[in-house]
C-alpha cells in the first residue's frame, strides 16, 4: 500500500455521505449518496457497520490497490429532516475512519 494511493482514497471518500434510516418495522437501510454508491437493508446496527466497512475496504482494494486497509466507522445521530420521508426516518450517519496501525 503506497502513501499516495492511501491519500487518493482518503480524498475520494472525504465527503462521502452515508445515511442510515429505519422504517416502521425497524428495518435499517444504509445508503451512500456518492461514489462508492451502495444501499443495503439490514436488521441491526452491527450489520450496518460491517457492510459499510466491507464495502469501503473492497472499494479501496479494487480501485486504489489498498490491500491492508483498516477502516472503522463513527456514527453521528441526526435530527429531524426538513424534507419529509415517506417510509424511513434517518437516525444517524456513518463516517469512514481510517485506522492506520503501524
pLDDT 10s digits, 39-52: 999 999 999 999 99
Q: How far apart are the first and last CA of the chain?
A: 12
pLDDT value for 89:
76
Phi, psi of 68 (to 5 degrees): -110, 40
pLDDT value for 84:
55
Q: Taking the CA of residue 94 as centre, how many other CA atoms within 13 Å lie in the half-sphere pointing to its CB?
A: 28
Report which of 13, 61, 20, 25 is spatially closest to residue 39, judged by C-alpha positions. 20
67: three-class secondary structure by DSSP: coil
- Beta carbons within 10 angstroms of residue 18's beta carbon: 24
Amino acid at each position: 500500500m503506497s502513501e499516495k494511493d492511501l491519500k487518493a482514497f482518503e480524498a475520494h471518500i472525504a465527503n462521502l455521505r452515508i445515511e442510515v434510516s429505519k422504517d416502521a418495522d425497524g428495518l435499517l437501510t444504509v445508503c451512500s449518496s456518492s461514489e462508492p454508491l451502495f444501499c443495503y437493508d439490514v436488521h441491526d446496527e452491527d450489520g450496518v457497520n460491517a457492510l459499510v466497512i466491507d464495502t469501503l475496504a473492497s472499494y479501496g482494494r479494487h480501485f486504489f490497490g489498498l490491500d491492508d486497509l483498516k477502516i472503522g466507522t463513527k456514527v453521528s445521530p441526526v435530527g429531524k429532516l426538513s424534507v419529509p420521508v415517506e417510509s424511513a426516518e434517518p437516525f444517524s450517519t456513518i463516517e469512514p475512519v481510517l485506522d492506520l496501525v503501524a
